Amino acid sequence: MKAKSVGMLAALALYGGTTTAAAQPGNGNATWPQPQEGNFVVRDFHFQSGEVLPEVRLHYTTLGKADKDSNGRTTNAVLILHGTGGTGQQFLRPIFAGVLFGPGQLLDATRYFLILPDNIGHGKSSKPSDGMRANFPKYDYTDMVALQHEMVEKGLGVNHLRLVMGTSMGCMHSWMWGEMYPDEMDALMPLACLPVEIAGRNRLWRKMVIDGIRQDPDWNNGDYTKQPRAALLIGADFLLIAGSAPIHMQADMPTRDAVDRYLDESMSRITTGMDANDFLYAISASRDYNPSSRLNTIRAPVMFVNSADDFINPPELGIAEREIRKVKRGKFVLLPTSEQTHGHGTHTWAAVWQGYLKDLLERSRP
């Protein structure tokens, strides 16, 4: 893997705005059904902040068709949730879809109805950069999950989920789905997060990004006419560090010049198309996340997977092992650091953890 590829994948660990053509709508390799895109509008949505939007647009991509049993219960829907700054279409990349969505694979799109939403604030869903800028409602994770639920149930007519899985921010949303809608899924697979309040170094780097954006004079309280350059750079800096994969980076960038080229190329790629308000909102949305006290209310089997080289969720904290004991049917797996892991972004390299997904699907079979 060349340094350019490492830079792209490190950023993709958190920020889906840098996706390549392989992640876009379409079906270039024809190993799974053609993705379908759509929008669902939620009207008069009341945010946790007390703010209200007359219309919230939720964009989604789906593969396959929903099946229902004789009682009208959806039997084959799988909800896959993206990370901070990403979109549902990031899961169409070969390292994910090419491993899971093809014929005979674990989430074969001819058998399952796969739902890949763009969260509010992300992708083609309603977001600050649509025009409201810093007047956009200050959404949080509870709002995001509630809107996902509205889209799944009312927009797509899905009343039960075979599986909810998510990466990074989507991992955190998966825990919340299990607590907010405990009877509406057969299984949960959170990938690359911790089910506790965001504190310690995780909160520290987020606060540094938030403050860095707000302190850029060109940000102008969110009312800028061109993207504030320093704000974008600090966001990109931390994305590269938070999503870093040390083994691959050391191998692919063994010299000073290689690192400098990688950084220049990566910063240009990440900041292209990035919006300071959108990114600020996305990072800030985690402010009150803390599912720890309600983990014992989750009823579905849980397969919780982190990797040992994850900068954001360092294993030495021992938090995952402690918290999984609260989950009645939970299992935690820590993937050891190796050439197969990719730092925080291991969550999207499905070949590394697909065996655990297989185990989860088998032990949660209705």
Return all residues near 44 (Cβ < 8 A) that are at least 6 apart: 52, 53, 54
- Between 26 and 139, the more confident residue is 139
| Per-residue pLDDT reduced to its tens digit, 315-329 | 999 999 999 999 999
Q: Are 250 and 160 in contact (CB under 8 A)?
A: no
- How does pLDDT run across 193-247, given as a tens digit for each residue? 999 999 999 999 999 999 999 999 999 999 999 999 999 999 999 999 999 999 9
pLDDT of residue 11 exceeding 80: no
Q: Is residue 207 part of a domain?
A: no
Alpha carbon distance 63, 111 (integer Å): 10
Q: Is the confidence at residue 272, as pLDDT, over 80?
A: yes
CA distance 134 to 139: 12
Task: Supply the pLDDT for residue 6.
Answer: 45
Instruction: Please check whether residue 291 lies inside any domain of the structure.
Output: yes
Residue 262 lies in a domain: no
Put simply, whether the predicted model's pTM sits higher than 0.75 gets the answer yes
Contact 260, 266 (CB under 8 A): no
| SS3 label, residue 118 | coil
The answer, yes or no, to whether residue 300 has pLDDT greater than 50, is: yes
pLDDT confidence tier of residue 16, bands split at 50, 70 and 90: very low
Tell me whether residue 220 is in a domain: no
Which residue did the predictor score with more confidence, 50 or 5?
A: 50
> Hey, what are 47's tokens?
């945010």
**Cα 200 to Cα 272: distance, rounded to the nearest angstrom:** 30
52-63 and 36-46 strand pairing: antiparallel
Which one, of 168, 290, 316, 323, lies nearest residue 239 by Cα?
168
Confidence of residue 2 (pLDDT cuts 50, 70, 90): very low
For residue 29, pLDDT over 90 is answered with no
CB 303 within 8 A of CB 184: no
CA distances 269 to 10, 38, 266, 274, 282, Å, are 12, 27, 5, 9, 19
* 314 within some domain: yes
Indicate if the pLDDT at residue 3 is higher than 90: no
What are 39-80's pLDDT values in tens digits? Answer: 999 999 999 999 999 999 999 999 999 999 999 999 999 999
- pLDDT on residue 28: 52
Residue 31: per-residue pLDDT: 81
**Is residue 251 included in any domain, yes or no?**
no
Decide if 5 contacts 266 (C-beta within 8 A): no
Q: Which of 162, 107, 115, 165 is nearest to 304 (CA)?
A: 165
- What residues have CB less than 8 Å from 107, skipping those under 6 apart? 78, 100, 101, 114, 163, 357
Name residue 57's amino acid: R
Round the average pLDDT of the chain to a whole number and report it. Answer: 93
Q: Is residue 264 part of a domain?
A: no
pLDDT tens digits for range 95-129: 999 999 999 999 999 999 999 999 999 999 999 99
Amino acid at 97: A
Question: Residues 162-191: what's their mean pLDDT?
Answer: 98
Look up the domain containing 318 and give its range: 3-201+283-363
Helix (H) or strand (E) holding 53: strand 52-63
Percent of the chain with pLDDT over 90: 90
Has residue 4 got a pLDDT over 60?
Answer: no
Give rounded-to-5 percent helix, strand, coil for the chain. Answer: 45, 15, 40
32 in any annotated domain:
yes
Q: In this structure, what CATH number is given to the domain that contains residue 126?
A: 3.40.50.1820
Please give the tally of structural domains in the chain: 1
